[in-house]
């Protein structure tokens, strides 16, 4: 049975066998619907070539060349990706604006006999939806901020909360950044931060999974995580949230950081280059002291001094500036499983009534 192409402007209200982004890889990398796969009908170079011909030669010639390239690429996708799809296969297809690229793919797939839905307006429709949702959706939730100096294991504790069933929004994970000078890219780290647009797509995807009748736990962050920014609506709600501050002895913090950041030890030259970015704030004399500790492989003393000289003052200033609501302080001796379980026992039941 042959189907006609179906168009929608609300794909999030339906379910599909697969979501197919037919834009070029460069467009896909900048942002896409989470979970979509990339099957370009024109690759990066081909799209640029057709666009140049369209502007510098004539539109008719560009359409002929473009049609030939699109046909060839769709054939490759048919013979590879679509070869094993069953008759019940029902994909959503989208391109940049819901025009020729998605229509070309959808037309061929429907001729085979599959039911195909095209996102009307393409990625532009989706992007407008993300922006609109992020203006208001964060305001629906009650947030609980987990605060604490660097090395108090906030992310680790939040992960344990998630395992207990609490709602946790891990912004550092979504931003692919540890939220500090030493949290960016290092040798051996294969992936970089998402673009601002894709970060917002991932953020929306996570927020939509939450129950507005239960609190959302979140780590205290600044409005900027690496190179991406939080939406103003979320940032304002975070600033209004009550905070629970974890307090941990300095020796336990140092031990935890050396375990969590092994690259500090394995890439001393990279560490020096990273620390050099602090010369304006800390001065060359302090940097020289740190370099000497690195050369001597005195890692505990190095980390402790970096905490005292840089991270702790930054945290104390930002916490007072951004998160002024009343704090609850919880002191623990270390970040052992037993200590963390005690923290969770004292926190999560307090919010069990918010259902």
Which has the closest alpha carbon to 150: 351, 279, 310? 310
Exposure pattern of 197-207 as b/e (b: 16+ CB <10 Å)? bbbbbbbbebb
Burial class (CB in 10 A: 0-12, 13-18, 19+), 244: buried
The single residue listed with the structure tokens 């609490």 is: 166
Question: Is position 95 annotated as part of the catalytic site?
Answer: yes
3-class DSSP state for residue 246? strand
3-class DSSP state for residue 208? coil
Show the beta-strand stretches assigned E in the chain: 6-8, 18-21, 37-38, 91-94, 117-119, 143-148, 167-169, 216-219, 224-225, 228-229, 242-247, 327-331
Show the beta-strand stretches assigned E in 167-323: 167-169, 216-219, 224-225, 228-229, 242-247
Which has the closest alpha carbon to 27: 94, 78, 79? 94
Which has the closest alpha carbon to 193: 155, 235, 227? 227
Which has the closest alpha carbon to 101: 125, 127, 122? 122
Which one is catalytic: 95, 147, 243, 282?
Answer: 95
Per the structure block, which two tokens stand in for 286?
Answer: 């302090």
Catalytic residues: 95
């Amino acid at each position: 049975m042959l189907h006609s192409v179906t168009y929608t402007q609300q794909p999030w209200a339906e379910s599909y066998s697969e979501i197919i982004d037919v834009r070029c890889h460069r467009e896909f990398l900048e942002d896409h619907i989470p979970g979509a796969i990339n099957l370009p009908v024109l690759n990066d170079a081909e799209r640029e070539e057709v666009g140049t011909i369209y502007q510098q030669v004539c539109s008719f010639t560009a359409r002929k060349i473009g049609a030939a390239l699109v046909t060839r690429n769709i054939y490759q996708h048919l013979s590879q990706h679509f070869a094993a799809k069953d008759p019940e296969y029902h994909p959503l297809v989208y391109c940049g604006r819901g025009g020729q690229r998605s229509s070309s793919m959808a037309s061929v797939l429907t001729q085979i006999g599959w039911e195909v839905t095209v996102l009307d307006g393409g990625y532009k429709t989706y992007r407008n939806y993300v922006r609109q949702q992020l203006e208001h959706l964060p305001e629906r939730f009650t947030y609980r901020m987990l605060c604490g100096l660097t090395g108090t294991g906030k992310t680790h504790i939040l992960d344990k909360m998630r395992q207990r069933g609490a709602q946790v929004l891990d912004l550092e994970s979504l931003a692919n950044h540890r939220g500090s000078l030493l949290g960016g890219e290092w040798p051996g780290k294969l992936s970089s931060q998402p673009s601002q647009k894709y970060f917002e797509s991932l953020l929306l995807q996570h927020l939509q999974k939450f129950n507005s009748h239960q609190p959302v736990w979140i780590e205290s962050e600044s409005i900027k995580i690496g190179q991406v920014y939080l939406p103003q609506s979320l940032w304002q709600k975070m600033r209004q949230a009550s905070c629970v501050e974890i307090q941990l002895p300095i020796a336990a913090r140092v031990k935890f950081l050396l375990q969590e950041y092994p690259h500090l030890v394995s890439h001393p030259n990279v560490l020096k280059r990273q620390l050099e970015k602090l010369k304006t704030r800390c001065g060359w004399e302090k940097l020289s002291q740190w370099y000497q500790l690195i050369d001597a492989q005195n890692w505990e003393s190095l980390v402790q001094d970096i905490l005292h000289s840089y991270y702790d003052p930054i945290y104390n200033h930002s916490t007072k500036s951004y998160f002024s609501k009343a704090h609850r302080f919880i002191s623990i001796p270390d970040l052992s499983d037993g200590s963390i379980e005690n923290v969770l026992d004292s926190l999560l039941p307090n919010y069990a009534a918010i259902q």
